[in-house]
Amino acid sequence: MSTPQSIRRLGRYPLLPVVVLMAVGFQIATGSFVDHENLVGIASDSATLAMVAVPSALLVISGYLDLSVGSTWALGAVAAGWWASSHHGSLVGCALVAVAAGLAVGAVNGLLCCGLGLSPFIVTLGSLTAVRGLAQQLAPLPLTGFSTSFAWLGGSSTAGIPTPVILAVIVVLVAGFVLLATPVGRHIYAIGVSREAAYLSGVRVRTVPFVIFLLTGASAGLAGAIKASVLGAVQSGTSGLGFELSVLTAVLVGGVALSGGSGSLFGVVLGVAFLGILQNGLTLMGVPTFWQQVAQGVALMVAAGLAYLGPRLEALTAVRPPAVQPPTAPEGEQLSTATVMTSQP
Amino acid sequence: MALRVTALHKSFAGAHALRGVDLTIEPGEVHALLGHNGAGKSTLIKALGGAFAPDSGEIQVAERTYAGLTPRQSIAAGIAIIFQHLSLVDSLSVVDNIFLGQEVARAGVVSRRAQRERASALLERLGAHCRVDDRVGSLPMGQRQLVEIAKAMSRNPVVLILDEPTAALSAHEVATLEATVRRLKEQGLAICYVTHLLGEVERLADRMTVLRDGRVHSSTSLAGKTRADIIAAIAEPPTALAPRAPIHEADPPQLRLEGLTGMGVGPIDLEVRPGEIVGLFGLIGSGRTRTLELTYGRRRRGGRVIVGGRPVDRATPRAGLRAGLALVPGDRTGQGLFSSLSALDNALLPAQGTLSRFGLRRRGAELAAFERMSAELSVQPASPAAPARSFSGGNQQKILLGRWINGVLPTTVLMLDEPTQGVDVQARHEIYRVVRAIASERRTAVLFASTDPEEVVALADRCLVMREGRIVDELAGDAITEEALLDSIHHLPTSEKDVR
């Protein structure tokens, strides 16, 4: 691959220079940003977000959406906390019940959205509320007094790398591998671009997104367990509250189109890193939490602006091979005429 | 003179869609615009509607001359186009639709009474029965179309263009529409009427212009012309294509449908032998597309589909594919193409599983398969990474065809729905060449549906004529001529209108 092409490829990720500039800026402003300890802290804070953002991104690429991950997180945390505090639970048991709780939520979401074809927005908005209620009903009081083996899940590290980060890296690598190297990866994009065309091409248009719903639920449950392990306590009312918004922000800032069919995991990882660095850097600088929230929100809007400008800038700068002609879809033209006919003032 | 088009040229991606079209329509004249798929009819209409600027030539409307139009200019100039896909909002009332975007307002407030009065006057002028307060979504197709025409008339057009207006109408509605067209003609409107149906030409038109390969083939008055004269003016000499390999009558059929039913279609019984190309010919709504979809498993079906002697039990595209069936749908953008994905993904999506090893994609094998496919179908440009939407209509269609005949999938029955819709002439002939070649060389059974008689003549070894969801006639070999096909849908015992 020639250098200009690889540079152009990086040009698809306008977030990359932003992340780099931010890191440089925070280092200059605080002098302690790139300390080893701080970087490990960012990574472990971002690990749970990455773990859930990756399957969520696959879901969005295939044209679906899961808003319930914050509540699933709480349910997973409650399940793991319950096991850790009352069954003298082994680490494996805790992780398994959290994953099972997440799978159950994912299965319900998936059945309703993929099986019955209901709107994923509505269905998962419903489960966002319902699952939170369920978690609070199951554990109205804070859960504490976890077994020591459970603390290992969030607190241990191997070769200086915290376990949650290792898990997140595994999730990213496996998902990236599936997306790029297997036929199913192409199917995920195809379903997001045109479900009908994918169906007529023999793609399993129900099974594939259903499985991603399962994975999203499982990862959200596990993420909840990890956070419970880190904190040593679970409060079902606030655990993972608003997490679904962070996940969606990371996915969308990372360049995945909400309309489905496009996006990359590298972009999503950048989105996660962006949010993590932003929060950490602003905290180091002593910026109040509310202003941090403002910054996150503005970043999402800027990302939406980039999504609008990106293709236009690319069209201006890209050197097109002369043989590729501009689109001449006749249907589109007909549509545009018809639309303009209706919108004449 | 209401509309005059002079020496209009337009090419897309190097393919000439219009090569110097002249057309003059006088006030109070119904001018029939005829021609086959790819002849340039829709390109001409879109140029008039302002969908794109012509490369050269002039458009003159009511004494004003334009080198090209935007959609707004087109409307302002007085051109009104009624497309097959109506631009109505189903949830709004008739009056709201008519005045959508051009509300009659006094001091910024919509004057409902003035709108209602003008709307009912318009509907009366057209002879429409619907009331101004009816919700458009609850109206039958014919009335909706009249609402669309009323909306167009509210802007006082100079020329009204109707693009195959009767395609979706019932017999009774066709009569109403024809009466409306006559009324408007008497009121002095210039009307351009695009159609496939000769009966409508005979009953309505004063003049006709036949397009062929982007040029005006003939333009004559219809006074004193017989049906035979019209057919002779439309029919093209058969194009020279390579001879077909013989079909062996003794071969067991590759595809057999036994009492296929579903979606108001059937029962249908038919057989396609290995290497045979069978056409399903009929008007829109006659059940051609549904027959293909039912066979493929796109829709729930009754009866039996037997491929290569084995019945296909499950009615899903997956099961159909595994049995060796393949379908290139007629709605290219909606059902076929993944517009933002690469040409390679589009061509090989169902084949990637077969090409993979241990569940892993093999890029080398995929690229090789794409190269073979694009060479065989002469896809231009042969760039695997370019997004599908950047290709011309003809090349998009070749990529969709290549999805099934790339040599990786075990396609033994290829089904094509309107294989050359929205495709330029050159690509059309290439598609015919490829389809005939795979039938001859790979002994693939081909079943295609078309509304275009020329296409049936060019492709089919045998043609089944469909009407009201059933097969009503069969033509084979040299008996398949455009005259015979047009006859078979026009000279049936019942009147042409009942065909829908």
For B178-229, what is each residue's pLDDT tens digit?
999 999 999 899 999 988 777 788 888 999 998 888 888 888 888 888 877 8
Question: Which is nearest to B436 in space by CA: B235, B240, B252, B253?
Answer: B240
> How many other C-beta atoms are found inside a 10 Å radius of the C-beta of residue B479?
11
Cβ-nearest to B338 among A190, A323, A326: A190
pLDDT on residue A338: 34
Across all residues in chain A, what is the average pLDDT? Answer: 84
B419: enclosing H helix or E strand? none
Smallest Cα distance from B401 to chain A, Å: 12
Check CB contact of A321 with chain B, cutoff 8 Å: yes
- For A6, residues 6+ apart whose C-beta sits below 8 A from its C-beta are none
Greater model confidence, A43 or B15: A43
Q: Does A194 touch chain B (CB under 8 A)?
A: yes
Can you tell me the ipTM of this complex? 0.76
> By C-alpha distance, which of B447, B433, B463, B444 is closest to B274?
B444
In chain B, % of residues over pLDDT 90? 18
Q: How far apart are CA B78 and CA A119, in angstroms?
A: 43
Most B CBs within 10 A among A179, A201, A203, hence the mutation to make, goes to: A201
Residue A7 is assigned to a structural domain of this protein: no
What pTM value is reported for the model? 0.78
CA distance B191 to chain A (A): 18
pLDDT given at position B468: 81
Quick check: A268 and A250 in contact, CB under 8 A?
A: yes
Supply the pLDDT for residue A269. Answer: 94
A268 CB-near residues (< 8 Å, 6+ apart): A50, A53, A54, A57, A250, A251, A254, A255, A256
Q: Is the pLDDT of residue A125 over 70?
A: yes
Residue B457, CA distances (Å) to A257, B415, B452 in order = 46, 17, 9
pLDDT at residue B409, as a whole number: 85
Does residue A312 fall inside a structural domain? no
Distance of residue A323 Cα from the nearest chain B Cα, in angstroms:
6
When pLDDT is cut at 50, 70 and 90, the band that residue B410 belongs to is: confident
Indicate the pLDDT class of residue A314, thresholds 50, 70 and 90: low
Residue A307 CA to residue A299 CA, distance in Å, equals: 12
Looking at the complex, report in whole angstroms how far the Cα of residue B1 sits from the nearest Cα belonging to chain A: 24
Sign of CA dihedral B401, B405, B411, B413: positive
Give the CA distances from residue A169 to residues A38, A97, B298, in Å, rounded to whole numbers and listed in that order.
18, 22, 41
Closest CA to A20 of A41, A3, A34: A34
Nearest to B71 among A182, A185, A340 (CB): A340
Token pair 């059937």 in the structure block, residue: B266
- How distant, in Å, are the alpha carbons of A66, B50, B213, B316 from that of B59? 53, 11, 20, 50
Task: Say if the Cβ atoms of B340 and A337 lie within 8 Å.
Answer: no
The per-residue pLDDT for B346 is 92
Q: Is B287 helix (H, G, I), strand (E, B) or coil?
A: coil
- Work out the average pLDDT over B71-94: 88
Collect all residues of chain B within an 8 Å Cβ-Cβ radius of residue A203. Answer: 349-350
Asked if residue A324 is part of any domain, the answer here is no
pLDDT digits (tens, 9 = 90+) for B251-282: 888 899 998 898 888 799 999 989 899 999 98
Q: Most confidently modeled of A85-94, A264-273, B464-473?
A: A264-273
Which of B462, B386, B467 has the alpha carbon at shortest distance from B171?
B467
For residues A106-122, average pLDDT? 94
Q: What is the pLDDT of residue B393?
A: 78
Q: What is the pLDDT of residues B283-328, one digit of tens each?
A: 777 888 889 999 998 888 888 999 988 898 888 999 999 899 999 9
Q: Give chain B positions within 8 Å (CB) of A329.
A: 333, 339, 389, 393
Which pLDDT band, with edges at 50, 70 and 90, does A7 fall under? low
Strand partners, B372: none
- The pLDDT assigned to B105 comes to 74
The amino acid at residue B491 is H
Alpha-carbon distances, residue B308 vs A18, B157, B254, B257, B325 (angstroms): 59, 57, 5, 11, 10
Tokens of A66: 């899961």
For A256-259, the CB contacts below 8 A with 24+ separation are A256/A57, A256/A60, A256/A61, A257/A60, A257/A307, A258/A60, A258/A65, A259/A63, A259/A192
Identify whether A316 is part of a domain: no
Tell me, what's the pLDDT at A194?
92
Provide, as residue numbers in chain B, all residues whose Cβ is less than 8 Å from the Cβ of A176: none
Lowest mean pLDDT among A38-42, A200-204, A329-333, B466-470: A329-333
Q: What is the mean pLDDT of residues B417-433?
A: 81
Q: How far is A196 from chain B (nearest CA, A)?
A: 5
| Angle in degrees, CA B382, B384, B387, rounded to 5 | 105
For residue A56, what pLDDT band results from cuts at 50, 70 and 90?
very high
Amino acid at B224: G
Look up residue A307 and give its two tokens: 């999504």
Residue B235 has pLDDT above 80, yes or no: no
* DSSP-assigned letter for residue B229: H
- DSSP of A175-199: HHHHHHHSHHHHHHHHHHH-HHHHH
Residue A155: domain span: 13-305
Over residues B22-55, the pLDDT tens digits come to 999 999 999 999 887 667 888 899 899 888 888 8
Backbone angles phi, psi at B155, to 5 degrees: -100, 10
- Maximum mean pLDDT: which of A259-268, B230-239, B490-499: A259-268
Question: The tokens of A287 are what?
Answer: 């910026």
Mean pLDDT across chain B: 85
Question: Residue A205 pLDDT > 90, yes or no?
Answer: yes
Strand partners, B216: B211
- Cβ of A340 within 8 Å of Cβ of B350? The answer is no
Are β-strands A161-162 and A157-158 bridged in parallel, bridged antiparallel, or unpaired? Answer: antiparallel
More confident residue, B77 or A327: B77
Distance CA B494, CA B500 (A): 11
CB contact under 8 A, A201 and B52: no
Confidence bin at A1 (pLDDT 50/70/90): very low
Cα angle value A136/A141/A144 (rounded, 5°): 115
- The alpha-carbon gap from B85 to the nearest alpha carbon of chain A, in Å, equals 8
- H/E stretch holding A159 reads none
Highest mean pLDDT among A60-69, A240-249, B434-443: A60-69
Asked if pLDDT for residue A96 goes beyond 90, the answer is: yes
Percentage of the residues of chain B whose pLDDT score is greater than 70: 94
Quickly state the pLDDT bin for B490 (edges 50, 70, 90).
low
Is residue B233 less than 8 Å (CB to CB) from chain A?
no
Q: Which of A5-9, B110-114, B362-366, B403-407 has the weakest average pLDDT?
A: A5-9
For residues B419 and B326, give the distance between their C-alpha atoms in angstroms, rounded to a whole number: 13
DSSP 3-state assignment of A268? helix
Mean pLDDT across A18-34: 88
Domains of chain B with CATH codes: 3-234 (3.40.50.300), 255-499 (3.40.50.300)
Of B339, B405, B408, B426, which to mutate for an interface test with A (greatest number of A Cβ within 10 Å)?
B339
Residue A152 domain-assigned? yes
CA atoms within 13 A on the CB side of B434: 28
Positive or negative: CA dihedral B433, B438, B439, B444: negative
Identify whether A329 is part of a domain.
no
**Distance (Å, whole) CA A301 – CA A310:** 14
pLDDT at B249: 74
Q: What is the Cα–Cα distance from A146 to A233, expressed in whole angstroms?
A: 8
Q: Take residue A244 and report the two structure tokens written for it.
A: 């679904």
Beta strand pairing status for B15-25 and B3-12?
antiparallel
Confidence check: pLDDT of A65 > 90: yes
Helices (H) and strands (E) in chain A, counts: 15, 2
Residues B381 and B394: their CA atoms lie apart, in Å, by 12
What number of C-beta contacts closer than 8 Å exist between A and B? 150
- Structural domain contains residue A336: no
- Grouping H, G, I as helix, E, B as strand and the rest as coil, residue B20 is strand
Name the pLDDT band for A337 (thresholds 50, 70, 90).
very low
Question: Which chain A residues have a beta carbon less than 8 Å from that of B318?
Answer: 202, 204
Q: In whole angstroms, what is the distance from residue A188 CA to residue A112 CA?
A: 19
Give A339's pLDDT tier (boundaries 50, 70, 90): very low
Does residue A326 surpass a pLDDT of 60?
no
B378 touches chain A (CB under 8 A): no
Q: What are phi and psi of B307, to 5 degrees?
A: -115, 120
Q: Could you tell me which residues are beta bridge partners of residue B33? A: B194, B209
Any long-range contacts for B264-269 (C-beta under 8 Å, 24+ apart)?
B264/B290, B264/B469, B265/B290, B265/B291, B265/B294, B265/B469, B265/B470, B266/B291, B266/B294, B266/B302, B266/B303, B266/B469, B266/B470, B267/B302, B267/B303, B267/B470, B268/B303, B268/B469, B268/B470, B268/B471, B269/B471
What is the number of structural domains in chain A? 1
* Per-residue pLDDT tens digits for A256-291: 988 888 889 999 999 999 999 998 998 888 888 898
B270, β-bridge pairs: B257
Instruction: Say if strands B207-212 and B265-272 run parallel, antiparallel, or are unpaired.
Output: unpaired
Q: What is the CATH number of the domain that holds A229?
A: 1.10.3470
* pLDDT value at residue A10: 64
A341 domain residue, yes or no: no
> What letter does residue B306 receive in the DSSP assignment?
E
